[in-house]
Amino acid sequence: MEKSAREVAARLREQGHIAYFAGGCVRDMVRGLTPKDYDIATDARPETVQALFPRTYAVGAHFGVIIVLKDGFQFEVATFRSDEAYIDGRHPSAVHFSSPEADAKRRDFTINGMFYDPVAGEVIDLVSGQADIAAKLVRAIGDPVKRFAEDRLRMLRAVRFAAVLDYQIDTETWDALVANAPSINQISAERIREELVHILLSPNRVRGWDLLNASGLMRAILPELDAGVRGVISRRGEAGDRNRG
């Protein structure tokens, strides 16, 4: 897969475009792991990407995203962009194709905001993602309140990354998450379920549960389950009080 991803990037470079690996695959590479998939960020416009590759389909051309099919693999090729205001807690009202710097700053967490130049063989880190990986820290890029207001699903993603990677959540990011947890229901039930499955099926599912509970996300998503857990804890506390008496 990596060979094919490099060939996609090379094709863009041959035509004079910037082409970097981006997002989670770079996080995995920095951590010394083999990525499960590769995303590519470029300054080529969506229509240019489609013209350069024989097999493509647009999953979000308005947002600059084209899927390139090569050697049996699918690669998400996205044009560098900056976003205007988010009006629904999920999608920007408009996007502007821009630069690597602007694109990195609109992403969710520093550990996902790095690029990798497959030609130079170097990480392009504009958000201190490598330092946060070394510190095992999930930190929002820029103002966490703004990041969560843009996309409410990022709150669940913060918990997922903390659980799956066994990282801590940066204090400022955590405070913003707790303050905004009740708004998670602005997101569709399907997207919430997808993140919950990742969290609760991870090897660190107990920690994921604890973070969901402590943040208030569980209370917002599944209030009946939260009430049941609190009732059990309360009864145990009462039993302990009687035993101590």
DSSP state of 86: B
Q: What is the pLDDT of residue 154?
A: 96
Task: Give the 3-state secondary structure of residue 240.
Answer: helix
List, by residue range, all CATH 1.10.3090.10 domains of the chain: 136-245
List, by residue range, all CATH 3.30.460.10 domains of the chain: 1-129
**Global pTM value:** 0.84
Show pLDDT as tens, one digit a residue, over the chain (245 residues). 999 999 999 999 999 999 999 999 999 999 999 999 999 999 999 999 999 999 999 886 667 899 999 999 999 999 998 765 566 555 655 566 789 999 999 899 999 999 999 999 999 999 999 999 999 999 999 999 999 998 999 999 999 999 999 999 999 999 999 999 999 998 889 999 999 999 999 999 999 999 999 999 999 998 876 565 555 445 554 544 444 44
- The CATH superfamily label for domain 1-129 reads Beta Polymerase, domain 2 (3.30.460.10)
Q: Which of 245, 166, 195, 183 is nearest to 220 (CA)?
A: 183
Q: What is the pLDDT of residue 88?
A: 57
CB 20 within 8 A of CB 27: no
What b/e readout covers 151-175, taking b as 16+ CB neighbours within 10 angstroms? Answer: bbbbbbbbbbbbbbbebebbeebbe
Residue ranges of E strands in 43-130? 56-60, 65-70, 73-79, 81-83, 95-97, 115-117, 122-124
CATH (residue range 136-245): 1.10.3090.10
What backbone torsions phi and psi does residue 157 show, to the nearest 5 degrees? -65, -35
Name the β-bridge partners of 220.
none
Q: What is the pLDDT of residue 63?
A: 75
Element (H, E) at 42: strand 39-42
Q: How far is CA 87 from CA 32, 116, 213, 228, in A?
A: 38, 31, 28, 34
Phi-psi region of 47 (alpha: psi -120 to 50; beta: other; left: phi over 0): alpha
Q: What is the pLDDT of residue 81?
A: 81
Measured CA to CA, the distance from residue 140 to residue 152 in angstroms comes to 13
